[in-house]
Structure 1
């Protein structure tokens, strides 16, 4: 057993709640732009709100919730894409003394019914008429639900008018805000449910104070009030996106929201954040798109050379003496030719990114640091209020998920499982004592992940206990290692390794819908229909190349011997991935049982 901890850098308030932050900001930084929203008259423009203006808008919405009968401790659900109103209404719910229950905007009626019913939500704020219709379709199963407000139909303005008509004052809101204490639930975040029904993680105000306070302090050069900014495009309903939004408010730095990732490049260019956050797939697609563009322009060899130099430069930063003079000169040339253009795609101003949700991998880590855009990889779960470990800005160790959150402890159990302890942890699962008792033992949370700690306390995640495959030959295989390497290929969208109880390891692979047509055009196969294209020997050879690259990272017994390219994508809508882009392995295995059997026939 091994463990590592770092002293806390932030003193968690003995009492109080997250609404204290917005009142503090208005008092200390009344004229500071703390949040930006899109101009309704011109979607290309951002309109800044000062700390004073944001507090006023939160109070106005909170008055409407109080007028509607929302009481202290009540649960109010919030179902929307990532937009300004998400953060506004989150704080408004807390200001009414209530508890926010996030619902992914892509959720099915069945998922909506479960989350609203299990949480006992008395009201739900939805984004669109379609969401409202989904709620109406299951309302007969929700006896405690009294109110449904629709953001696109003017819910925020309507709440303000209702509060004003009821004569509720700012003092009334502040009095109601004070009913929540540090250990009161702030939110019930339902796990994505890779298996079984989602469980509601109870995260307290103390959890977020411990999490965000220590993140901001440890990454202080990236969270400078009046200078730095972050653009949130991950789901605000996910704990990672939520944590970053609250960290921005805590710092405070300017916060913007993007509801549609398809417009991300344009939004990055107009907002120009100093910090970018994302999941590895985002950074992978930026890399693959840039490489494909260079290939199309006949500059593929130059791009590949630039990648090699960037990677070598980054690796040399960790070596005694650093990069050689010759390497520095090459790096300077490629910075003008290639790297500067790549940084421009990411907004042109950002020097750092925060990545979570899955493994980034050393290859991408070195590439991005080498172009002057350092991606700080971290690790966390809903139960740990997002990041429980992350790479510090000044002592990054690529290939790891960093050191423990200051003020917390990471322990590696005798069987290799990662255990966590600290104020940032969840209080338990809502109305589920048996699941809570199973996950929390004497204050230690059992993550279900396997990992190692090095001598400096840097954590590396090696797999999931429940995902370890044991082949017929008795070989233990951790899927994540080889899956991440195969997924790194531009053609590959997803990869799921199979082989539990089988004679060898195989894989189900889906192809990237964006890159596939480009590959077909470049190889003279644009006229092929999809079925013929997927069966094309040259395409199969390209996928085999990706598999070979993955196999290079593991032993022969762990290597993929056969693969099957699937015609369909693993999507959230198909039920094969969670909103945080994790594979639902049991669902994939069930839906593609025939294809798996064929790999062993």
Structure 2
């Protein structure tokens, strides 16, 4: 078996953890939008300073409610602004995030919470809370359940109002690079899901090297990415953390059925997805071209794009004729496809896992 390696471009801090990122962002880029959240159908920016303040407020509530360093806290929700907020709040309180897919059955929830030893669970909706409550008698270690759609953040803010920012920062500093950051559960295709412990170092190394190697795509104050993958999946989590690490503006959306509209309204400069997402965009564009009587030209454009991409990986590069064809189709087809992706997207990166993999 052949092995390939590249030298690391990012040096993982020896004694830091992921909460350092949001404090650094607030200090170095206080007024830069780092999150885009959708409120009543419109995007609202959250600056680095605002995000840190909201994370600290939630972390105070977790601490006041008994979360101690190393405690497992489950997070059962679709991809949304509160997912990123609570992820960093759990870390700031010294906890370890245990993601749970929002489509999980009560039996799957019971297994993951019980196996991880979760002492608390943050859920998105009444349905999620009901699913957890239905198995709560089999989870003797579960002390608290907070529901996002029923004022979880307000309750946490109220619970922790007597704590200070310094109290949170002191607790945040307990974890080191080698402390567990999360326990991600496998799909369970070979039996019950198995918990994979990932440390802060794991995310630093992975995301840090991605950001460094692709620096032109991660320009603070200019670049943006829309996260529509499940945040419970590790690839979605990498998108979240890499965006915060850069930092660039991160938008989070819950319903992939509205993806085309969200892409066009958020207008990301970078799209990170999985093959199935790009297949859906491609198939939708091809179907529209066929309906407009332009199916043949679309297919020729697709063949040209593939040939051009492959030629770029050869020493000689694309031939003169191929470059001309590529320019022609860029005017006729590619620009329209980019419009579907929001109009600003210059790069699309695909991971290998299918959308919604469990």
TM-score range, shorter chain: over 0.9
Query: Quick one: which of 324, 331, 334 aligns to 1:329?
Result: 324
Determine which structure has more spread, i.e. the larger CA radius of gyration.
1
Deviation digits for residues 528-587 of structure 1 (CA, Å, limit 9, x no counterpart): xxxxxxxxxxxxxxxxxxxxxxxxxxxxxxxxxxxxxxxxxxxxxxxxxx9326xxxxxx
User: Matched residue of 1:195: which SS?
Assistant: coil
User: Matched residue of 1:259: which SS?
Assistant: coil
Give the aligned partner of residue 13 of structure 1: 13
Q: CA offset at residue 10 of structure 1?
A: 0.7
Alignment of structure 1 residues 464-543 onto 2, 5 Å: none
Are positions 1:162 and 2:159 aligned together? yes
Deviation digits for residues 299-353 of structure 1 (CA, Å, limit 9, x no counterpart): 1112122222222322332344433333333322221221100011011111112
Give the aligned partner of residue 122 of structure 1: 119
d(CA) in 2 for partners of 1:47 and 1:304? Answer: 39
**Structure 1 moving runs of 4+ over 4 Å:** none
Q: CA offset at residue 182 of structure 1?
A: 1.4
Give the aligned partner of residue 143 of structure 2: 146
Give the aligned partner of residue 217 of structure 2: 222
Tell me if the contact between 1:357 and 1:580 (Cα under 8 Å) persists in the aligned partners.
no
Are positions 1:280 and 2:275 aligned together? yes
Tell me if the contact between 1:82 and 1:235 (Cα under 8 Å) persists in the aligned partners.
yes
Are positions 1:202 and 2:197 aligned together? yes
User: Matched residue of 2:134: which SS?
Assistant: helix
Q: TM-score, normalised by structure 2?
A: 0.97
Deviates more, 1:255-264 or 1:173-182: 173-182
d(CA) in 2 for partners of 1:255 and 1:116? Answer: 29
Alignment of structure 1 residues 166-565 onto 2, 5 Å: 167-358=162-353
Are positions 1:78 and 2:82 aligned together? no
Tell me if the contact between 2:69 and 2:95 (Cα under 8 Å) persists in the aligned partners.
yes
Tell me if the contact between 1:75 and 1:121 (Cα under 8 Å) persists in the aligned partners.
yes
Give the aligned partner of residue 24 of structure 1: 24
d(CA) in 1 for partners of 2:91 and 2:168? Answer: 10
d(CA) in 2 for partners of 1:53 and 1:103? Answer: 27
Give the aligned partner of residue 377 of structure 1: none
Deviation digits for residues 396-453 of structure 1 (CA, Å, limit 9, x no counterpart): xxxxxxxxxxxxxxxxxxxxxxxxxxxxxxxxxxxxxxxxxxxxxxxxxxxxxxxxxx
Deviation digits for residues 220-276 of structure 1 (CA, Å, limit 9, x no counterpart): 111111111110000000000001110100011110101000000000001111111
d(CA) in 2 for partners of 1:139 and 1:110? Answer: 11
Deviation digits for residues 352-390 of structure 1 (CA, Å, limit 9, x no counterpart): 12211349xxxxxxxxxxxxxxxxxxxxxxxxxxxxxxx
d(CA) in 2 for partners of 1:120 and 1:5? Answer: 37
Query: Quick one: which of 77, 100, 103 aligns to 1:103?
Result: 100
Give the aligned partner of residue 136 of structure 1: 133
Give the aligned partner of residue 356 of structure 2: 579
d(CA) in 1 for partners of 2:64 and 2:312? Answer: 59
Tell me if the contact between 1:233 and 1:257 (Cα under 8 Å) persists in the aligned partners.
yes
Tell me if the contact between 1:192 and 1:579 (Cα under 8 Å) persists in the aligned partners.
no
d(CA) in 2 for partners of 1:277 and 1:150? Answer: 29
User: Matched residue of 2:15: which SS?
Assistant: coil
State the structure with bigger RCO (CA 8 A, min sep 6), 1 or 2.
2
Tell me if the contact between 2:72 and 2:119 (Cα under 8 Å) persists in the aligned partners.
yes
Judging by fraction of residues, say which structure has more helix.
Answer: 2
d(CA) in 2 for partners of 1:207 and 1:25? Answer: 20
User: Matched residue of 1:3: which SS?
Assistant: coil
Q: TM-score, normalised by structure 1?
A: 0.58
Flag the 1:347–1:97 CA change in 2: closer, same or farther, 3 A: same
d(CA) in 2 for partners of 1:253 and 1:88? Answer: 16
Flag the 1:310–1:4 CA change in 2: closer, same or farther, 3 A: closer
User: Matched residue of 2:84: which SS?
Assistant: helix
Structure 1: 5+ residue stretches without partners: 360-577, 582-601
User: Matched residue of 1:337: which SS?
Assistant: helix
Flag the 1:143–1:217 CA change in 2: closer, same or farther, 3 A: same
Give the aligned partner of residue 575 of structure 1: none
d(CA) in 1 for partners of 2:315 and 2:116? Answer: 55
Give the aligned partner of residue 539 of structure 1: none
Instruction: Please tell me the root mean square deviation across aligned C-alpha atoms, in Å.
Output: 1.4
d(CA) in 1 for partners of 2:156 and 2:54? Answer: 10
Structure 2: 5+ residue stretches without partners: none
Q: CA offset at residue 183 of structure 1?
A: 1.1
Q: CA offset at residue 290 of structure 1?
A: 1.4
d(CA) in 2 for partners of 1:265 and 1:179? Answer: 42
Aligned length: 358
Tell me if the contact between 2:179 and 2:199 (Cα under 8 Å) persists in the aligned partners.
yes
User: Matched residue of 1:5: which SS?
Assistant: coil
